A and B are shown apart, each in its own frame.
Chain A
Amino acid sequence: MDKDKSVEQTNHSESAQKMCKPSSVKKQKRRMLLKGTAALPVVMTLYSGAALARTSNITGEAASVTEAVFVNTGNGPQLLCVLPKEKLDSGAYDLGETPGYTLITNPPINPLTDDPATILVKKNAQLENCHLLGGIMISGAAFTSIAAKTSVFDNLMIL
């Protein structure tokens, strides 16, 4: 956007600014800091969210085992147990640049003989075993997002 367009936009949005007074006040304070503080150098830095996202994979644990990713193996579905690098203050997990993971084999699930209730019980038992390893389950959406950025989940066939 060039300067003239910016000025034009500012003039045209006077009424909008009145409606958004707190934002306007903040903006004014920022401008005062930048422009009014002629006596001192001022530097503010905008960190690129995209750049941060590239360096790490941050996610929360899936809300329930029914949303978690299970890998379809010859021995039945196995929970994808992702091993976080650290738990952040926000409650989210930092999986690092190349997330580590393991598949939970116990208890084994046989989709041909186990009824749905048994499968659910066994999936929860796999989750407990994952937690014992310090891992977390992730949702399909988180899996897709991480898989798009890294090759760590290549060759996994998810359910």
Chain B
Amino acid sequence: MRWLSDNFHTLLVADWDEEYTVFQPDSGKTHFFNQMSMEMLSFLSRRPVSIEEICDYLSRQSGQTPDENFQDNIEKILYHFNALGLVKKEN
């Protein structure tokens, strides 16, 4: 299964020095992201990617060694993004 951001181009993003406010016109909601969330969503806007690719990318960006825990957390965030309508699955 691959993931892709949904209507990323419609999001209104304000950068507050590694914090981001993201207004989502489709839902009328405003989200607060940290740097890693923004990198994750931005990465998902380029092309459909698997969870492994996301973990690999984020771990390189943050200088972490990805373990099972890390992947679990990323997966939780992905499903949360999905519930918010920020990303979608592509089988």
Q: A residues engaging B (CB < 8 A)? A: 3, 6, 31, 33-35, 37-48, 50-51
Contact = CB atoms under 8 A, between A and B. Distances in A.
B66 to A, nearest CB: 11
Contacts of B30: 45-46, 48
Given A35-B34, A38-B34, A44-B31, 14 more contacts: A34-B19, A34-B32, A34-B34, A38-B35, A38-B62, A40-B73, A41-B33, A41-B58, A42-B37, A45-B31, A46-B30, A46-B31, A48-B30, A51-B28
B28 A42 contact: no
A43 B35 contact: no
B35 to A, nearest CB: 6
Given A38-B62, A43-B81, A48 B28 contact: yes
Contacts of B62: 38-39
Contacts of B19: 31, 34-35
Interface string B11-41: 0000011110000000011111111110010
Contacts of A41: 33-34, 36-37, 40, 58, 73-74, 77
A35 B28 contact: no
B64 interface: yes
Interface of B: 16-19, 28-37, 40, 58, 62, 64, 73-74, 77, 80-81, 84
B18 A35 contact: yes
B34 A37 contact: yes
Question: 3 tightest A-B contacts by CB?
Answer: A41-B37, A44-B32, A41-B36
* Residue of A3, A45, A46, A47 with highest tally of chain B CB at under 10 A: A45
A99 B89 CA distance: 37
Contacts of A46: 29-32
A34 B18 CA distance: 9
20 contacts: A31-B19, A34-B19, A34-B33, A35-B19, A38-B35, A38-B62, A39-B64, A40-B73, A40-B77, A41-B36, A41-B74, A43-B32, A43-B33, A43-B84, A45-B32, A46-B29, A47-B29, A48-B29, A48-B30, A51-B28
Contacts of A37: 34
B6 to A, nearest CB: 15
